[in-house]
Structure 1
């Protein structure tokens, strides 16, 4: 069983990276093989090129070898975990770009040629997990709809099977949190991943 962990933070010494390490440790404890994609460290290009947009509805929508590698990984994964800070009430641009460039026709979904309807392409994914930090308190995050969470647990979930479960782990008011609170949250991330 493969778990794919996608990390989106530019600083390697960030809390986000520490949480990704704890998530990976928990997943390995649960018996998963883990593929970790550190988007910034990999130099992933967020912006879709004109050529990619033009080829989007063609037989081969993926033109970049790195994107093809990432698409291959998500096609194998039964668990996909996103670890990122919530910025401007949403996903970091690099993660949004990853979704736009990787979850393309033939990967995330297919068009039924007879009806023209969209059919999920990630039916093998059994669990989507989001792990995010927020500068705002939970009440403020709810007020502005937590767009990153909605993108992953609603929009991306539509590309998965009807039995795909979503799970969310959020550390709110991170800027005012204590070291002990951050450590407790990291430990809960590892425990939660170990129980999948």
Structure 2
């Protein structure tokens, strides 16, 4: 199985990095192929430019790094996101990855009847989102609501038609 990990944390000593190491070791022990997309080490620019937006509307990409990510995602059977929760939501690089990489023509397409979305990453069997935060879970859940679940799981991947997302 080929697992693509999208990782976003700039600090090498972070808990997210410890999670990444643990997951990588476990996947390697089970003989799985791992493809790490390290947004910070790649200097991924989360900002969508006017050229990016034009390409998004045309269901293509122009940025060479985004094109590279597209090719890697097409081969993924499992997709894992690892990032911290900052100010109750994902960091800018993770949001930029969603905006610029998980685009129409690659991750999904519009249903021909005009409503709903169709998943296009045909090899993708599962999607996992792993986050860390320093706010107590009860405060996050009661005061804010689980924004990551609402955004990453429900709004993005389930809306695109992907079923096995956790």
Same fold (TM over 0.5): yes
Whether contact under 8 Å (1:125, 1:160) holds in the other structure is no
Distance 1:18 1:73 in 2: 24
Whether contact under 8 Å (2:118, 2:161) holds in the other structure is no
Q: Which residue of 1 aligns with 2:127?
A: 128
Q: How many aligned positions are there?
A: 163
Q: Which residue of 2 aligns with 1:100?
A: 99
Distance 1:149 1:37 in 2: 22
Secondary structure of the residue aligned to 1:54 is helix
Between Structure 1 and Structure 2, the one with more helix by share is: 1
TM-superposed CA distance for 1:150, in Å, is 2.5
Distance 2:90 2:119 in 1: 22
Whether contact under 8 Å (1:7, 1:38) holds in the other structure is yes
21-30 or 2-11, larger mean C-alpha shift: 21-30
Secondary structure of the residue aligned to 2:83 is strand
Unpaired runs of 5+ in structure 2? Answer: none
Considering only aligned residues, what root-mean-square deviation do their CA atoms show, in Å? 1.6
Matches within 5 A, 1:1-196: 1-59=1-59, 61-112=60-111, 114-117=112-115, 118-143=117-142, 144-158=144-158, 159-162=160-163, 164-166=164-166
TM-score by length of 1: 0.77
TM-superposed CA distance for 1:31, in Å, is 2.5
Unpaired runs of 5+ in structure 1? Answer: 167-196
Secondary structure of the residue aligned to 2:77 is strand
| Bigger Rg over Cα | 1
TM-score by length of 2: 0.90
Distance 2:10 2:36 in 1: 15
